[in-house]
Chain A
């Protein structure tokens, strides 16, 4: 079945530094990947849609300069949290869309827990 991985699974960084999170589709190609954010005991909120070879599409209210998304290949999208602050601490989950098989299902990664100290 379709498998999506994320790396790292958890990360702790100091305030003001940047951290990169990788999302990989392991057994299928994904021209489209999605990044979600989940605060404790809350639902998932879509942050942005990552498109291979082009710019990401950000949801309203998400700072594109703070959350940099790069989708350089058909199996890899990265989310970089720049100049991280404690309020950026959250659970980040990616999904990858199977663009070959209708209805183009999304498959989720296991998530990355970011803690900013």
Chain B
């Protein structure tokens, strides 16, 4: 069965420090991978996505993620965190449709706190 694991429930970093949020997935075929961010009480905002091609994906707000098939990972990175990055981050895999995806399966989320 498809699944997404985000091992870190809560991460705290200092403003200006680098960030890496981990995501591992389980999926039999070529995955469609996503990172979303959610501020308290808000909906989801897509940060970036991987469908195919270059395994290093650039997103909005200075985020990037690298797809590593051998490790079944899609970790999110940012070189310098801003206080406004404090939020909940969700990794997701799209599954269930040949040549595309139907369902989105979400990880449990990682809550990021940023210290000034």
Contact = CB atoms under 8 A, between A and B. Distances in A.
Contact of B106 (A41, A43, A97): A43
A103 B94 CA distance: 10
A43 B99 contact: no
Contacts of A32: 102
Interface in B93-116: 94, 97, 99-109, 111
A108 interface: yes
B51 interface: yes
A93 B41 CA distance: 11
B33 to A, nearest CB: 12
**Interface of chain A, main secondary structure:** strand
B42 A110 contact: yes
Contacts of B99: 102-103
Contacts of A109: 43
Contacts of A44: 44, 90, 104, 106
Interface of B: 32, 36, 41-44, 46, 49, 51, 90, 94, 97, 99-109, 111
Interface of A: 6, 32, 34, 41-46, 49, 93, 95, 97, 102-106, 108-111, 113
The 10 closest A-B CB pairs, nearest first, are A110-B43, A103-B100, A111-B43, A104-B100, A108-B44, A43-B106, A44-B106, A43-B108, A43-B109, A108-B43
